[in-house]
Amino acid sequence: MDIVEKKIISIGGGGFTHQADKFLDEFVINQIIDRKIKFGFLPTASKDNLNKIKVYYEELKKYNLELSHFELCSKVKGFSNWIMDQDIIYVGGGNTNFMLDLWQANKLYKYFEKAYNSGIILSGVSAGAVCWFEWIFTDSLGDGYKPLRGMNFISGSCTPHAAEKNRIYEFELSIKNKKIPSGIAIDDGVAVLFINGKPTSVCSSNKNRNAYFIDDNNNRIVLNDHIKKTNE
């Protein structure tokens, strides 16, 4: 029996939905090179914003992709079949709490899990980067940054937009105070590839942007260095 390689790609910010750092889109797309890719977009976190959907089709039409999207704010019927028909799922940014509340209320987590376990690549930016983690550090709950339970496909915690000084400070403080477990902070313009729940590589569109592992002792370690150390 073949062992399924389970992949998640988390982008801190940028990509086609922000019309920036297009190199990151290609990093996601190039995970599959042997066939035309079925590439599915979920704009739930933006409340199915029509402009984001329009940008998705405009920005990605130049690639050899079979593009589709699913508006979960208006319907869920057919979602289970749609998601299993994709090669790559891309979750857009927006309000993380709203998105996860809607997915939970409609009992959709099980379909994401089935897709993940079958080898369909899960990816996304901002809210779509962090939703896969055990814990999310977000401002989508209102009143500053707070921990939020994620889908738990990847253990530990995560925050996007790590270059925002107040965000990463609060993230590190929450880890230090044991409010959330150790985790990963990802700058805008940076994508992290996880295979079977572990970070394996970092793709950056700018040498000054990075991803970091914040350990239980509150040390901030460049994620590539952490990957190398854990693989020694």
Given 161, 174, 205, 226, the catalytic residue: 161
161 an active-site residue? Answer: yes
C-alpha 222/C-alpha 210 separation (Å) is 7
C-alpha 81/C-alpha 55 separation (Å) is 25
Which secondary structure element, helix H or strand E, spans residue 65, and what is its range? strand 65-69
Q: How many Cβ atoms sit within 10 Å of the Cβ of residue 13?
A: 24
Given 10, 126, 174, 204, the catalytic residue: 126
C-alpha 192/C-alpha 172 separation (Å) is 19
C-alpha 8/C-alpha 51 separation (Å) is 25
Active site residues: 126, 161
